[in-house]
Structure 1
Amino acid sequence: MPNAAARPSFLLVHGAWHRSTCWADLQDALAADGRESHTVDLPGSGPQGTPTAGVFDDAEAIAARLREIEGPVVVVGHSYGGIPVTEAAAGHAHVAHLVYLAAYMPAEGESLGSLHGRDASKGVDLEGLQPPVFEDPRASLYGDLPDDVAERALGRLVEQSRRSFQEPVTRAAWRTVPSTYVICEDDRALRPAMQTKMSANATHVERIGTGHSPFLAAPAELAALLGRIADTAVPGRHA
């Protein structure tokens, strides 16, 4: 087991309609294991979200945060967060590993919309913010959470820029940085079948038996899994 000083830290990147506060329970669990973590707020997510912000604005926020962190880093992207992580982490020599947590894992030229078969050239509105698109966000995002925890999480949801769903990435960091895809087996927001398809791009695949938000449903279990991933990460292992 590597000592604490040698361990990579984590940069936790939230998904659509969320802010970095969603990671608080996981950060506590990581800290209990002596692991350092960092977060970032993406400009495409409200309440201070910018209606014109997109993938590249979010990627620059991630890149700027990476420049502030010393030592090797494991970057964890959740859901939509996998899109700007894929763009941002390319070329950062101290990124030791990427973790796609029930996350979109695009290749160059792909966007969240295109991964769902949507053509942005056909009259898609790229301007403005929108609330969660799920008919029942409670069931889709937090179906395995106790009512009180789910209600708090629902109360923290914000609007998301439409542009962030349609801009394609130009770089795919997972081509040069080792990666792990964590499939959430009871996910009702991003179906496990689609996760499994995208996970073919990853170096390794893990599974966790939760819904879409394991950082709330099982923070200790997720922290342990991330710890194991980080302990096998090889800083500087780039193609």
Structure 2
Amino acid sequence: MGSPTETPTIIMVQGSFQLPDAYYKLDDALRALGYPVVHPLLPSLTDEEKPGFATKSLTDDALAIRSEVQRLVEQGKKVFVVMHSYGGLVGTEAVTKDLSFDERQPAGLPGGVVHLFYFAAFILPTGQSVLDVFGESPNNDVKPDGRFTIKNAANILYHDLPDAEAQEWESKIINQSYAVQKTKMTNEAFGFVKSTYVVCENDRGPPPMYQEKFGEMAGSKIQKISSGHSPMLSHTAELTRMIDQVVKSVIETGAQV
């Protein structure tokens, strides 16, 4: 079954319009604390030049995450899922009940997903898509070829970074397949895996009041950080401490909190 104090592997599920580079500070800070960190690529943000890119949906992204989670769980690993922004939808869709620690343990199976950690993340119930619930965001730059990106990223995503750094990250913004907007959710991982939701109090993307509602809907323990939308860049040390504290609580209780 593995040691009760075994360090979980952290799966990082990123948000829209960015390369994984935007999460390297957080990934590296967690690794420095001794956590194995896996950051899978999302198909809706990868290989834009290849035919079929614009057909990649949230379902494809969720399958990519599920594949990595399943690989780790089948190795007997405990998995702690960290999700940011759009990644909240992907992780919630990806983690099915058969992969949860609480489902596997009574069956005598090792490993499993022990906790969900959301920050500035979208959460929707089954049967709903982003477009169903929110309509088209005025911040979106929708292109005629099935791609979209975000306008004014420095101001919306990175406003609490120094100007030069915010502009640098804005220059790295990439296109995403628009199909993710239309994908309806089919799974609610928060229904069978306990969760924490960190509200970014100064967010200019999803409003903090919405974030609180997302956390309440998921039944999460809600925490707050005085950051904009990208605390993995602007408040790396504080966010790392928050994740570390939750993981330690999970380890102390043997599974979840």
> Would you call these one fold, judging by a TM-score over 0.5?
yes
Give the match for residue 58 of structure 1. Answer: 61
Within the alignment, does 1:100 sit opposite 2:118 as a pair?
yes
Q: CA deviation at 1:117?
A: 4.7
Deviations 1:156-203, CA, capped at 9 Å, x for gaps? 211011110121111100000001111000000111011111111233
Q: CA deviation at 1:236?
A: 5.5
Distance 1:126 1:115 in 2: 22
Preserved contact between residue 4 and residue 34 of structure 1 (Cα < 8 Å):
no
Give the match for residue 28 of structure 1. Answer: 28
SS of the residue aligned with 1:189?
coil
Distance verdict in 2 for CA 1:235–1:63, change over 3 Å: farther
SS of the residue aligned with 1:62?
helix
Q: CA deviation at 1:22?
A: 1.5
Q: CA deviation at 1:19?
A: 2.4
Normalised to the residue count of structure 1, the TM-score between the two structures is 0.88
Distance verdict in 2 for CA 1:110–1:46, change over 3 Å: same
Q: CA deviation at 1:7?
A: 1.9
Distance 2:11 2:55 in 1: 25
Q: CA deviation at 1:5?
A: 6.5
The one of 88, 96, 120 equivalent to 1:82 is 88
Distance 2:4 2:191 in 1: 28
Larger helix proportion, structure 1 or 2? 2
Distance 2:4 2:238 in 1: 19
Preserved contact between residue 46 and residue 158 of structure 1 (Cα < 8 Å):
no
Deviating 4+ runs (over 4 angstroms): 124-127, 234-238
Runs of 5+ unmatched residues, structure 2: 101-111, 137-141
| Identical residues among aligned pairs (%) | 31
Preserved contact between residue 5 and residue 254 of structure 2 (Cα < 8 Å):
no
Give the match for residue 198 of structure 2. Answer: 182
The one of 226, 232, 236 equivalent to 1:219 is 236
SS of the residue aligned with 2:127?
coil
Distance 1:72 1:149 in 2: 35
Give the match for residue 206 of structure 1. Answer: 223
Within the alignment, does 1:150 sit opposite 2:166 as a pair?
yes
Give the match for residue 37 of structure 2. Answer: 37
Q: CA deviation at 1:115?
A: 2.7
Give the match for residue 68 of structure 1. Answer: 71
Preserved contact between residue 178 and residue 203 of structure 1 (Cα < 8 Å):
yes
Distance 2:144 2:219 in 1: 30
Q: Alignment length, in residue pairs?
A: 229
Runs of 5+ unmatched residues, structure 1: 119-123
SS of the residue aligned with 2:39?
strand
Moved more, 174-183 or 38-47: 38-47
Normalised to the residue count of structure 2, the TM-score between the two structures is 0.82
Distance 1:126 1:101 in 2: 31
Within the alignment, does 1:7 sit opposite 2:21 as a pair?
no
Distance 1:139 1:125 in 2: 21
Q: Letter of the 2:231 partner, please give it.
A: P
Give the match for residue 154 of structure 2. Answer: 138
Preserved contact between residue 44 and residue 54 of structure 1 (Cα < 8 Å):
yes
Preserved contact between residue 46 and residue 159 of structure 1 (Cα < 8 Å):
no
Distance 1:37 1:67 in 2: 15
Distance 2:184 2:248 in 1: 32
Q: Letter of the 1:115 partner, please give it.
A: V
